[in-house]
Structure 1
Amino acid sequence: MLTTLLDTVGSWPAAAVLAVGGLVLFLETGVVVGVLLPGTTTLVLLGLWSSAAGTAAGLPIAVAAPASAAGALLGWSRGHRRRALPPTGHGRLRARVDPVVVVARRWLSARGSLGAGLLVVAAHWVAVTRTLTPRVAGGAGVPLRLAGPAIVLSATGWATTFVLLARALGAQVAGGVGWATAVVLGVLVVALAVRSWLHHRSPA
């Protein structure tokens, strides 16, 4: 069954898979509603697809890492432009997120340049903070010369890690390793789904 599923995934057209994956990753880090998008799950699907389609791992990574970094840099830019302005939230999600961003901005401002840079790097590996931290960093006055490299480095490491892990797992399933691999894959998918569901409920 898993082999059949991977064969189906592998038959998806490369241009569509990469375009949709890149768009999801860009929006996840670039806009506030991106907290509702499944960034890590998207990387897992890209890794499984590249394994099933026989595509080089570098291709999905070359799309995913820049897309996620570009979205985060857009978030930093928006936070930087709005740093002197009060929250102008509209809609239920933004109305709940903006006060949190303001408090986090004040907290991050007190951490210093090095501490802020390390937090930007770490935040890219966690859902929700991957969306909000670049925006908070821009609003807290973290300079682009520090935030930019931190975002690019972290986005590249995050995308590379999850794509390669999912790709290796897909290759094992295709090779008929057995039930143990199926269990691991099932646990991974369920864990990602549960985490995504919990984060989607938290802003409500």
Structure 2
Amino acid sequence: MQELVNLLTDLPPLLIYVLAAVLVAGETAFIVGLVVPAEATLLTVGFLAYLGTLRLVPAVILMIAAGLLGDTLAFRSGRRYGPKLRSGRWGTRIGHERWQKADAMLARLGGRAMLGARWVAFVRTLAPRLAGGAGMPYRRFAPGMRWA
């Protein structure tokens, strides 16, 4: 672990900010979160801010913006490819009744469902796509995302 910290503290702070933002945004935008959740990145950024390598306020603002960007890209991906996914091979394996249950939950809970999804690993990665594919208006999706 000490070797990783030494490696990161030797990098230019701008590069660390950019890499961390890409990892946080990529968690939901590119479904990377199913394999590599962003919690480790966020903890590392916080630790580097504690060490003085990064500044805390810019790091927090950038990580929030990266998370919002990733969620927005995932929502748009769900909006665009959701219907195709539901009618495809994987979508039919899930089953029409399960899709209907998910749609009903999103209709009932709206942005609150998205807020809750932000705190559950793996669900956080898939929920924006589900919301977009279910046709949830962005104005209902965004409040849950904004406060997460």
- In structure 1, how many angstroms separate the alpha carbons of the residues matched to 2:87 and 2:20? 30
Shift of 1:73: 1.0
**Alpha-carbon distance change, 34 to 98 in structure 1, aligned in 2, over 3 angstroms:** farther
Q: How many residues are matched?
A: 148
- In structure 1, how many angstroms separate the alpha carbons of the residues matched to 2:58 and 2:144? 22
- In structure 2, how many angstroms separate the alpha carbons of the residues matched to 1:52 and 1:42? 15
Residues 5-50 of structure 1 show CA distances to partners (whole Å, capped at 9, x for unaligned) of 7566444321111111100111111123431123011100000011
Asked if structure 2 preserves the Cα contact closer than 8 Å seen for 1:26 and 1:70, the reply is: yes
Shift of 1:119: 1.4
- In structure 1, how many angstroms separate the alpha carbons of the residues matched to 2:109 and 2:52? 41
**Alpha-carbon distance change, 47 to 102 in structure 1, aligned in 2, over 3 angstroms:** farther
Aligned with 1:144 (options 138, 142, 147): 138
The answer for the alignment partner of 2:73 in structure 1 is 74
- In structure 2, how many angstroms separate the alpha carbons of the residues matched to 1:59 and 1:112? 33
The answer for the alignment partner of 1:106 in structure 2 is 100
The answer for the alignment partner of 2:121 in structure 1 is 127
The answer for the alignment partner of 1:52 in structure 2 is 51
The answer for the alignment partner of 1:116 in structure 2 is 110
Residues 103-133 of structure 1 show CA distances to partners (whole Å, capped at 9, x for unaligned) of 7643221125451321111111222111100
> Share of identical aligned residues, percent?
24
After TM superposition, what 4+ stretches of structure 1 lie above 6 angstroms from structure 2? 95-98
The reply to whether residue 153 of structure 1 matches residue 135 of structure 2 is: no
SS in 2 for 1:126: coil
- In structure 1, how many angstroms separate the alpha carbons of the residues matched to 2:39 and 2:115? 16
Asked if structure 2 preserves the Cα contact closer than 8 Å seen for 1:101 and 1:132, the reply is: no
The answer for the alignment partner of 1:61 in structure 2 is 60
Normalised by the length of structure 2, the TM-score is 0.81
Moved more, 11-20 or 100-109: 100-109
Shift of 1:59: 1.2
**Alpha-carbon distance change, 43 to 86 in structure 1, aligned in 2, over 3 angstroms:** closer
The answer for the alignment partner of 1:13 in structure 2 is 12
Where structure 1 has 5 or more consecutive residues not aligned to the other structure, the ranges are 90-94, 155-204
Asked if structure 1 preserves the Cα contact closer than 8 Å seen for 2:115 and 2:144, the reply is: yes
- In structure 2, how many angstroms separate the alpha carbons of the residues matched to 1:26 and 1:97? 25
Normalised by the length of structure 1, the TM-score is 0.61
Moved more, 44-53 or 78-87: 78-87
Where structure 2 has 5 or more consecutive residues not aligned to the other structure, the ranges are none
The answer for the alignment partner of 2:29 in structure 1 is 30
SS in 1 for 2:83: coil
- In structure 2, how many angstroms separate the alpha carbons of the residues matched to 1:102 and 1:76? 21
